[in-house]
Amino acid sequence: MKKVLLQLSIFVFTITLSAQTNYDKGMQKAFQLWGQNKTQEASQLFERISKAEKENWLPVYYAATIEILGTFGMKDEVKLNSKLTKAQAFLDTAESILPNNPEVIITQALLNTAYINFDAQKYGMTLSGKNMALYEKALQLAPNNPRVVLAKAEWDMGSARFFGKSTKPYCNQVQKAITLFEKEKDLPKYYPSKGLERAKKILAQCEKE
């Protein structure tokens, strides 16, 4: 009986290890494709991974992020709506897996910003207020998350520029984000971590304005 249980345990462990390996291989491949600017392939792979990892918010989060980033600079509203509608579905799934996740919240704000960036007159009035609320919520949930601090600072700076005001009052928040990025350690595997280099560039530009 003990031998049977031991064999069963080894079998279950082997299956689990195999699944983890497949997940790792898939995630690494998706990031590789993204790094090669093969964004469609990367998004599709993240989506496929998410269907196998139904309790993991990371693959679907990255699929949403790629779709959102791909809309900046677009001139075709039909294509923009198609990509952002798809991204919204991904974010809704991520939110259902892990509610009140600050990483998802600021990505929702980024999606809203994509609409505003496309047509501020059409989308600004309805989405600007929502973004302010999203950033405040994310900051309350994770005041020391560098991506949250930087995202809110960027939003505030963009708003200041839009209304012809100085961005200097928000430079200290960008500096705070840099400090938090440099202190951030031991993140879970594949957890969002990017932003330090962007923060440094924003700070350098901020000091010139």
Per-residue burial over 33-49, b = 16 or more CB atoms within 10 Å of its CB, e = otherwise:
bbeeeeeebbbebbbeb
Q: Residue 98 in contact with residue 141, Cβ under 8 Å?
A: no
Distance, CA of 18 to CA of 23 (rounded, Å): 9
Dmax over CA atoms of the chain, in Å, equals 77
Tokens coding 139: 């900051």
Q: What is the CATH number of domain 12-111?
A: 1.25.40
What confidence tens digit (pLDDT) does each residue in 133-191 have? Answer: 999 999 999 999 999 999 999 999 999 988 899 999 999 999 999 999 999 999 999 99
Q: According to the model, what pLDDT value does residue 20 have?
A: 59
Query: What value, to the nearest 5°, has the Cα angle with vertex 159 and ends 154 and 160?
Result: 95
The yes-or-no verdict on residue 13 having pLDDT over 80 is no
For the chain, give every domain's residue range. Answer: 12-111
Distance, CA of 106 to CA of 158 (rounded, Å): 15
What confidence tens digit (pLDDT) does each residue in 22-52 have? Answer: 999 999 999 999 999 999 999 999 999 999 9
